Structure 1
Amino acid sequence: MRKFLLWASVLFSLSTMVQKTPYEQSGKKETTTYTAAISYYEHLAKEYNEAKLLTYGLTDFGKPLHLLVLSKDKIFDPVAIKRSNKRVLLINNGIHPGEPEGIDASMMLARDLLQKHQLPKDVVICIIPIYNIDGSFNRTSTSRANQNGPAAYGFRGNSKNLDLNRDFIKTDSKNSAAFQQIFNSWQPEIFVDTHTSNGADYQYVMTLIPTQKDKLNPLLSNYLTQVLVPDLYQGMEKQGYPMVPYVNAIGETPESGITGFIESPRYSTGYTTLHNTIGFMPETHMLKDYHLRVDATYKLLEQYIHITQRDAKIIGENKRKADEAVAVQKIFPLAWKLNQAEYTDLRFKGYEAGKKTSAVSGADRLYYDRSKPYTRNIKEWNKFEPAVTVEKPIAYIIPKAWDRVIELLKLNNVKLKQLKADTRITVESYYIADFKTTTRPYEGHYLHSGLKVEPVFQDLQYYAGDYVVYVNQPTNRYIVETLEPQATDSFFNWNFFDSILDRKEHFSAYVFEDTAAELLKKNPKLKAALETKKATDSTFAKNPAAQLDFVYKNSDYYEKTHNRYPIGRLISAQELDLK
């Protein structure tokens, strides 16, 4: 009997050790590795039937993206979960593996919820253990020069050197495609993407970036600003971690004031906003001790679970009504601007900033004096207004050749139809009149911006198998903000359509001179337009080549597809023969 009790005691001790995370075993000084994290979650899933570890697709690193699902009712099918009217909270960790607090906090939180039988009744919790698996293997202690621990951590870029928090629209990485498969399968109402800050020094351990309130559907925005965010702040204050909005200072120090963060769809919470999901980017302060950053993240995740369970019914109703509203919404913002005239006073706990002589350059340098904490009001500008809007068409018509666009629309639950037969359709086409392009690559692209378009109605030939996307869906925001070229993170701005921007045919001047003369003789309007251009533009008047090109571009010889955005807008209702 004594031997049996001793053996049972050893087994219990071993089980307890296995359930301690690598972070805890290190004395709270180290973050887990990818291999250890997945092994840990596999153990939890084997030990508790309320947990299941799933895999989705492959990442650029060749490993699948894992998803731990915690379900009190032991239901792990997202369709069945939605049918049973449960909420879904999705937590994403390690998008920047050098910011690993969420990785360690989520491991402990999952264990504690299972061990203590504290899983919420009406909320299914989904955890991506480490999103940027590639970067987590690139482990050093120096890549984040301003950060206080842990002992070693991963790198921001993935194995293609992509910042995955800029990849949610262009989807250059397999990681992004796998994430979108998870997101659009589980359709979370609340999304949390854990991070660590850079920037000014101040007293707070935790700062918070919610989905930009002005971009959200009004129902969701009202709940976010009036209930969810205030309750998160109150809950964290009680836990000993007062919070402040992310310190996006407009000057050198926070005293100059801060602005809200406008997350375009390239970012995780900008992407989730397109799907009427309320998103959060908590940012712990880089200079606070690592164990405090992990603890603050743990406690904030607890708050999300508590509030989502408490408000499960209203969160679900808000999401349903927002989806219905977006399906019939007519006007869509494509870009945003900060209202610089409106601000609020924000109570802020900082440190006095000063200047002293740099030991490197001998010039004055900034420093914060932690022996001089202060509490004072600073200005916060956080009202954004539409800078560009568009009225949605009845549908977009996409030639099947643009298969990458079709692939991403399908990945995002967009309903598409196809033409049964070759058909001529009257559409509104955009001609690209002007745009700017970066002179250096950004995340692997020479990004476009400042786009101007000239809409023209045309009767165009489409072919069997070409796609028709009706804009009457809950996914309308994703449809419009990717397919309208003026949108900040449109597929056009991410270079999906650059091949339309150059000519495929031209002319030999000595031959076309005679053709142009004949055109001017037969077309008085064209001749008048040429003369007017010469009379009003002195540079043009002195440039024979430009004049010849003018005639060419205003003739039938000039290719109509040059600079024509290939996705047509169906404006007038037409009966189409669809598969």
Structure 2
Amino acid sequence: MRKFFVFCLLSIGLKAAAQKTPFELSGKIETTTYTEAISYYENLAKAYPEAKLFSYGHTDFGKPLHVLVLSDDQVFDPALIRKSNKRVLLINNGIHPGEPEGIDASMMLARDLLKARKLPKDVVICIIPIYNIDGSFNRSGTSRANQNGPVTYGFRGNSKNLDLNRDFIKTDSKNSATFQLIFNTWQPEIFVDTHTSNGADYQYVMTLIPTQKDKLNPILSDYLTKTLVPDLYTGMEKLGYPMIPYVNSIGETPESGITGFIDPPRYSTGYTTLHNTIGFMPETHMLKSYDLRVDATYKLLQTYIQVVERDARIIGENKRKADEFVAAQKEFPLEWKLNKTGVNDLTFKGFEAGQKPSTVSGADRLYYDSSKPYTKTIKEWNKFEPALSVQKPVAYVIPKAWDRVIALLKLNQVKLRELKSDQKIAVDNYYIGDFKTGTRPYEGHYLHSGVKVNTIPQKLQYYTGDYVVYVNQPTNRYIIETLEPQATDSYFNWNFFDSILDMKEHYSAYVFEDTATELLKNNPDLKNKLEAKKASDAEFAKNAAAQLDFVYKNSDYYEKTHNRYPVARLVTDVKLDLK
């Protein structure tokens, strides 16, 4: 009896310890530290059998990523959860630790759901307490110069000074690799990544960036635009937080109109789109008080849970259909452009803007007058169209040497087959014809863009252990948007294959002059090709070195691997000797 009494006291003590978050205890002006957050979630998991705290992998800071899972029936096996036809909602917090509303809101939300026994029956909730652990330890109250609280907060860059919301495809950080492990283990249908905005001043506390509707699979996009987003807006309006799309102004102020946000796969929601997961970036307004921003985030997360629980069956069926659609899909967009004729009217609650002399420079400067609110109709451009598309091949063939590519494909549950023996395979090869490269580094890379390719059929030798990736999978979008070099966030554009752009052999001109003479003498077609080039290009006709190089590059002496993209396209479904 005494032991039972002690156990009850201990249980009550654990639950009492989990009653208030550091945010609440501070008078709602401070955000939780990493250590406090993990301790808080550990106490929740000890106090409530419906909660379990998992740790996964590593981060650049040396600590694992944690995931708190809330499951009403206390089932915490992702395979069993999928088998029972439940939905998974994944909430990611602190990817930018200076934007910490989600950190504090999620802690209170988890506690309140557990305490009130109000966990949804058909939805399992997964919460990453703080994704950028590294940045959360680098605390100050000044790194976000425009932001109204909290008192101190973390820094945007991680230990490698990477912005982790640019790292989902290139995966330079251990954080990204571990996130992808979590994501592909739990396979959420809905993903929410909490943020704080910068930019114009206006009346809204909360703005919303959904996965770009035109990039999303049509089945999912239809539900997103006709049901999910409208119901989120309606729900938040009822809770006292009317929302507006993220204010991406085309001019200095919102009155000039706003455009939708295109989220390539470097971003979290662009990455989740590749897996047919509907993603959101809610962005609270930086100038609103921190307590309001946390409260708005709390209520938005509540609203997600209510809608996903209500539509659990529909959401699951849509995801299943989208996966089947993508597995059979033949044409895939690689780049997108804004349709400037597709415009709609949007009711917008802003503040009047004006100009006044700067006390710093004396020049006119922009300001917003919060004492002069207005409601106006503004223009929104949010229709995107494919700028470049590609027909999928039967498969891609990848030499095993490109192990980083192989590892990322496997991490994202792409099915790969290995060659069982050495064999020659007829493939289409891309040769990189042209590309642009940024003049300044971006997130640790000199990013390529504007890639042009020439396709040449070849029969190449491949070896035991080389990989074949058939493009008949639900992960087709991930496969194609990483392996097609012209795609915005392809592995090629992120410099995975830059070594192919260097020549490894060359010639001494004084020796090759004699070789070139023999080549032109014995090959009339080459000689005619050279003369035609001289006739059509006056600068070339005056450049002796360029002419010698032309002969070299049109001869067998020129290395066949220079500029040859190493991932080949198998365009005929031939029988291969596979493990």
Using the alignment, how far apart are the partners of 1:59 and 1:208 within structure 2?
28
Using the alignment, how far apart are the partners of 2:11 and 2:523 within structure 1?
95
- Report the Cα offset of residue 9 of structure 1: 9.6
Aligned to 2:526: 526
CA contact (8 A) 1:48 1:114 kept: yes
CA contact (8 A) 1:217 1:276 kept: yes
Q: Does 1:81 align with 2:81?
A: yes
What secondary structure, in the 3-state scheme, does the structure 2 residue paired with 1:150 have? coil
- Report the Cα offset of residue 341 of structure 1: 1.0
Aligned to 1:104: 104
Deviations 1:155-210 (A, max 9, x none): 00000000000000000000000000000011000000000000000000000000
- Report the Cα offset of residue 516 of structure 1: 0.4
Gaps of 5+ in 1: none
Deviations 1:368-401 (A, max 9, x none): 0011100010000000000010000000000000
- 14-23 or 432-441: which moved more? 14-23
What secondary structure, in the 3-state scheme, does the structure 2 residue paired with 1:376 have? strand
Letter in 2 for 1:64: P
Aligned to 2:138: 138
Q: Does 1:382 align with 2:387?
A: no
Q: Does 1:538 align with 2:538?
A: yes
What secondary structure, in the 3-state scheme, does the structure 2 residue paired with 1:335 have? strand
Deviations 1:330-389 (A, max 9, x none): 000001000011100000000000000100000000000011100010000000000010
What secondary structure, in the 3-state scheme, does the structure 2 residue paired with 1:441 have? coil
Q: Does 1:344 align with 2:344?
A: yes
Using the alignment, how far apart are the partners of 1:390 and 1:396 within structure 2?
14
Identity among equivalent positions (%) equals: 79
Please give the residue correspondences for 1:152-171 in structure 2 after superposition, counting only pairs within 5 Å.
152-171=152-171
What secondary structure, in the 3-state scheme, does the structure 1 residue paired with 2:89 have? strand
Using the alignment, how far apart are the partners of 1:197 and 1:559 within structure 2?
51
Using the alignment, how far apart are the partners of 1:149 and 1:211 within structure 2?
28
Aligned to 1:437: 437
Please give the residue correspondences for 1:24-423 in structure 2 after superposition, counting only pairs within 5 Å.
24-423=24-423
CA contact (8 A) 1:87 1:188 kept: yes
Letter in 1 for 2:379: K
| Aligned alpha-carbon RMSD (Å) | 1.3
Using the alignment, how far apart are the partners of 1:230 and 1:29 within structure 2?
32
Using the alignment, how far apart are the partners of 2:8 and 2:494 within structure 1?
60
Aligned to 1:575: 575
Does the C-alpha gap of structure 1 residues 13 and 468 become closer, same or farther in structure 2, counting only changes over 3 Å?
closer
Aligned to 2:459: 459
Letter in 1 for 2:98: G
**TM-score, normalisation: structure 1:** 0.98
Does the C-alpha gap of structure 1 residues 12 and 188 become closer, same or farther in structure 2, counting only changes over 3 Å?
closer
Aligned to 1:23: 23
Letter in 2 for 1:254: P
Using the alignment, how far apart are the partners of 1:232 and 1:373 within structure 2?
24
What secondary structure, in the 3-state scheme, does the structure 1 residue paired with 2:387 have? strand
Deviations 1:458-517 (A, max 9, x none): 010100000000000000000000000000000000000000001000000010001001
Using the alignment, how far apart are the partners of 1:395 and 1:14 within structure 2?
55
- Report the Cα offset of residue 573 of structure 1: 1.4
CA contact (8 A) 1:425 1:460 kept: yes
CA contact (8 A) 1:102 1:294 kept: yes
Letter in 1 for 2:378: I
Using the alignment, how far apart are the partners of 2:353 and 2:209 within structure 1?
24
CA contact (8 A) 2:29 2:291 kept: yes
What secondary structure, in the 3-state scheme, does the structure 2 residue paired with 1:215 have? coil
Please give the residue correspondences for 1:420-569 in structure 2 after superposition, counting only pairs within 5 Å.
420-569=420-569
- Report the Cα offset of residue 18 of structure 1: 3.7
Letter in 2 for 1:111: R
Does the C-alpha gap of structure 1 residues 17 and 505 become closer, same or farther in structure 2, counting only changes over 3 Å?
same
CA contact (8 A) 2:15 2:44 kept: no
What secondary structure, in the 3-state scheme, does the structure 1 residue paired with 2:534 have? helix
Using the alignment, how far apart are the partners of 2:343 and 2:535 within structure 1?
51
Letter in 2 for 1:339: N
What secondary structure, in the 3-state scheme, does the structure 2 residue paired with 1:559 have? coil
Deviations 1:70-102 (A, max 9, x none): 000101010110011000000000000000000
Letter in 1 for 2:477: R
- Report the Cα offset of residue 16 of structure 1: 2.7
Using the alignment, how far apart are the partners of 1:8 and 1:120 within structure 2?
27
Letter in 1 for 2:453: V
Letter in 2 for 1:304: Y
Deviations 1:258-306 (A, max 9, x none): 0000000000000000000000000000000000000000000000000
- Report the Cα offset of residue 14 of structure 1: 7.8
Using the alignment, how far apart are the partners of 2:485 and 2:570 within structure 1?
16
Letter in 1 for 2:448: H
CA contact (8 A) 2:15 2:43 kept: no
What secondary structure, in the 3-state scheme, does the structure 1 residue paired with 2:333 have? strand
Does the C-alpha gap of structure 1 residues 519 and 100 become closer, same or farther in structure 2, counting only changes over 3 Å?
same
Does the C-alpha gap of structure 1 residues 254 and 519 become closer, same or farther in structure 2, counting only changes over 3 Å?
same
Does the C-alpha gap of structure 1 residues 511 and 301 become closer, same or farther in structure 2, counting only changes over 3 Å?
same
Q: Runs of 4 or more off by more than 3 Å in structure 1? A: 7-15
Using the alignment, how far apart are the partners of 2:522 and 2:212 within structure 1?
58
Letter in 1 for 2:95: I
**TM-score, normalisation: structure 2:** 0.98
**Count of aligned residue pairs for this structure pair:** 574
- Report the Cα offset of residue 15 of structure 1: 4.4
CA contact (8 A) 1:19 1:40 kept: no
Letter in 2 for 1:167: D
Letter in 1 for 2:549: D
- Report the Cα offset of residue 12 of structure 1: 5.4
Using the alignment, how far apart are the partners of 2:258 and 2:16 within structure 1?
46
Gaps of 5+ in 2: none
- Report the Cα offset of residue 19 of structure 1: 2.2
Using the alignment, how far apart are the partners of 1:190 and 1:11 within structure 2?
33
What secondary structure, in the 3-state scheme, does the structure 2 residue paired with 1:287 have? coil
CA contact (8 A) 1:428 1:570 kept: yes
Using the alignment, how far apart are the partners of 1:438 and 1:15 within structure 2?
54
